[in-house]
Chains A and B, each alone.
Chain A
Amino acid sequence: MKEIHDFTIVCRRQLGDQYFSLVLQHQGTMPAVCPGQFVEVLVDDCREVMLRRPISVHDVDAEKNTLSLLVQIVGKGTRRLATLQCGDKLNLVYPLGHGFSTNIASDSRVLMVGGGAGIAPLLYLSKVLSSKHIRPTILLGGRTASLIPVRSEFEPYGSVGIATDDGSMGYRGIVTQHPDFGKEYDIIYSCGPTPMMKAVAKSAAQRGIRCEVSLENMMACGLGACLCCVTDTDEGHKCVCKEGPVFDISVMKKWYE
């Protein structure tokens, strides 16, 4: 069940100059949220921003009734969100979209590939998989070390590898060149810049590995009502906000090729 709710910000962390994270507290009981689902955030008191902004669920704590977001400052709305402080309210429409498949065998060999703000949904995904005793390999990529926020948060849940274009942290090069990328896996999950996800999808397809990617198209409603957010798929246009944002690449040849 989707809802509109005013959350209270209970924790705000600045992560380098480009990222910040928010922990949001629900006043009642939160509906169930799946990894890969997202929220639509109302950016209040901002003359330039009218439409809500889609942001992935970074983490959920069902006991504390909190939900966290990891946000990269890229424009008007995210800049305004960055000024919010503990105690401020944030209005969300959520949980939206179709998330990652978590219904996989407990002996699955799992790879996650994230880049930039795209690492956000992978944390909650690793947490859910770890409750099934799955320990994924998690590869995080960025142009430079400071663009890889919250690396340490992932460490309890898997073996974390880093790739940076300038070699300032981990492997020097792009994430698909990381030595762990070419190993054997049963499933690959990816979220990040489109060129990265397309490279991951192509490689997975060639190697016959099941793969899911999470798209970030521009959205207006987030509810499947306006059809603004569509992506090309082998089965025609699909709504990223409703049928996605996570898609299995078996229907995405047209997109990644």
Chain B
Amino acid sequence: MLNVKVHNLNLKNPVMTASGTFGYGEEFSDFIDLERLGAFIVKGTTGTHREGNPYPRMVETPSGMLNAVGLQNGGVEKFCSTVYPRIQHLDTNIIVNVSGSSIDEYCTVAEQVNELDRVPAIELNISCPNVKKGGMGFGTDPAMASQVVTAVRKVYHKTLIVKLTPNVTSIAEIAKAVEGAGADSVSLINTLLGAAIDVEHRRPYLSTITGGLSGPAVKPVAVRMVWQVAHAVKIPVIGLGGIMSASDALEFMMAGATAVQVGTANFIDPSVTMKIIDGMEEYCHRHGIKDINEIIGIV
């Protein structure tokens, strides 16, 4: 009833977890059955080890939070040699979020992840607002976005999802560019660039001054963008941004998303993804829906 398909990926249900909010999945194994997830997307992985930005890296804002983690991770080799062996047995789709600051770096990571049997897809993060070089730079210009996707497409042979940034004038234009360059799917949105200032201490809350906004505050923007992109491209769209409940998730699907990702909500309730899956099932029963695909893009 909840099965969906994103390119070649068969998902038990449309619920995935968002990169950077779910660690390597293991952090949540006391709270949920990871194998019930449609897919989970691991932390942003780069060519080499990264320390990320200095502390403080987060601040809560109305109905959301700003983060400036800056892609802290052990690098792709460490992922393949130490993390992958620990999680590869899981019976769900494990997707690696591939990040970088040059086309070469994206390609190196994608090439190495291509060798991992139990990783059927990558999510190419051309939208991180928290790194100085690259990251969002690639995702804000259609020509550059197309260039990096074309290059990765040559070395990566499984499902290629490209994650888009909302920090652009026309997200549909970027989506069309990456579709043209060979992306199999797009996911959106990454965080919205924001800032917050501590007026008592007269200083920014984040070491980097600006950071990425996530959580319920961004949801209407995300739903609007998913709707626009779903009308602009033919490849499946994965929707995210502020999803806290099954009805939020269904909202994205009606706007045109084939699957959804849950991010910040995991921090508030580590078992939220299970509740969202249960809630979707319950919705289908209540509305006499036999196949969740019936509601995709009905708006």
Contact = CB atoms under 8 A, between A and B. Distances in A.
Q: Which 7 A-B pairs have the closest CB atoms?
A: A225-B23, A228-B58, A2-B30, A221-B267, A225-B27, A223-B27, A228-B57
A4 B20 contact: no
A50 to B, nearest CB: 6
A93 B32 CA distance: 13
Interface in A180-231: 217-231
Interface in B250-299: 264, 266-271
A50 B67 contact: no
Contacts of A1: 30
Given A50-B215, A218-B59, A232-B55, A224 B268 contact: no
Contacts of A220: 58, 65, 67, 264, 267
Chain B interface main SS type? loop
Interface in A37-64: 42, 48-52
B62 A221 contact: no
Given A49-B60, A227-B72, A232-B54, 13 more contacts: A4-B269, A50-B63, A50-B216, A51-B65, A93-B270, A221-B21, A222-B267, A223-B23, A223-B28, A225-B23, A226-B58, A227-B20, A227-B57
A28 interface: no
A230 B72 CA distance: 10
17 contacts: A4-B269, A49-B60, A50-B65, A51-B268, A52-B268, A217-B55, A219-B58, A220-B67, A220-B264, A223-B23, A225-B23, A225-B27, A226-B58, A228-B57, A229-B57, A237-B52, A237-B55
B204 interface: no
Interface size bucket, A side?
20 to 34
A221 B266 contact: yes
Contact of A230 (B55, B60, B215, B268): B55
Nearest to B44: A227
B79 interface: no
Interface residues of B, number: 34
A20 B184 CA distance: 55
Given A2-B31, A4-B31, A223-B28, A228 B69 contact: yes
A3 interface: yes
A218 to B, nearest CB: 6
Interface string A146-171: 00000000000000000000000000
A236 interface: yes
Given A51-B60, A223-B28, A4 B72 contact: no
Interface in A9-37: none
Contacts of B67: 220, 226, 228
Contacts of A52: 267-268
A242 B23 CA distance: 12
Contacts of A42: 268
Contacts of A221: 21, 27, 266-267, 270
Contacts of A51: 60, 65, 267-268
Nearest to A223: B27
B57 to A, nearest CB: 5
B64 interface: yes
Interface string B29-58: 011000000000001000000011011111
Contacts of B266: 221, 225
Interface in A218-254: 218-232, 236-237, 242
A56 to B, nearest CB: 19
Contacts of A49: 60
Contact of B60 (A50, A93, A217, A231): A50
A242 B30 CA distance: 14
A223 B270 contact: yes
Contacts of B270: 4, 93, 221, 223
B106 interface: no
Contacts of B54: 232
A230 B52 contact: yes
A226 B69 contact: yes
A228 B57 CA distance: 5
A6 to B, nearest CB: 12
- Of B20, B43, B55, chain A has the most CB atoms within 10 Å of the CB of B55
Contact of B51 (A217, A219, A228, A237): A237
Contacts of B138: none
Contacts of A222: 267
B141 to A, nearest CB: 28
B22 interface: yes
Nearest to B30: A2
Contacts of A228: 57-58, 67, 69
Given A48-B62, A221-B266, A221-B267, A226 B31 contact: no
A254 to B, nearest CB: 12
B19 to A, nearest CB: 11
B69 A227 contact: yes
